Amino acid sequence: MDSLSIRRFKRAPVALALALWLIGLLTFPSLAAAALAPSQTSQGAPATDRQADLQTVRQTLENKLVAQKLKDYGVSASEVEARLPRMSDADVHQIALLSKKLPQGGDAVGDIVIILIIVILVIVLIKLMNREIVVR
């Protein structure tokens, strides 16, 4: 072998690795997240919509789990409702942001019904394909 073919042989794995790396970059693009920046007031503080935040907090107070936790702490929903107008905009906004992080949803009955429907559909499809279900 001459020296030219040896150099090509040594460069082949590097070229292959580089080609695979480029294919990977082009095939699986990275995820990007974008959002609008919050507007700023003239003092530089972020502008918040107090009414929207109050509505979010009130909707959160209607959640059964939140109402039960408040009751466990000895606070009623009506007491919280009475204190909301006296809170500052920043406090109401913070509570609204925290309440948006709470898990949304109801009881597990809906999930169980969906699972049962899926199981029934699978059984019907298997029967339509003339297959047997054997449980041992």
- 25, pLDDT greater than 80: no
**Domain membership of residue 13 as a residue range:** 1-29
Q: In angstroms, rounded to a whole number, what is the distance separating the alpha carbons of residues 55 and 50?
A: 9
Q: Which residue has the tokens 């925290």?
A: 98
- 74, pLDDT greater than 80: yes
**76 in a structural domain:** yes
**88 in a structural domain:** yes
Cα 10–chain centre separation: 48
Query: Residue-wise over 59-74: b if at least 16 C-beta within 10 A, else e?
Result: ebbebeebbeeeeeee
Give the total number of structural domains in the chain.
2
**40 in a structural domain:** no
Is pTM beyond 0.75? Reply is: no
- The burial of 106, by beta-carbon neighbours within 10 Å (0-12 exposed, 13-18 middle, 19 or more buried), is given as exposed
**112 in a structural domain:** no
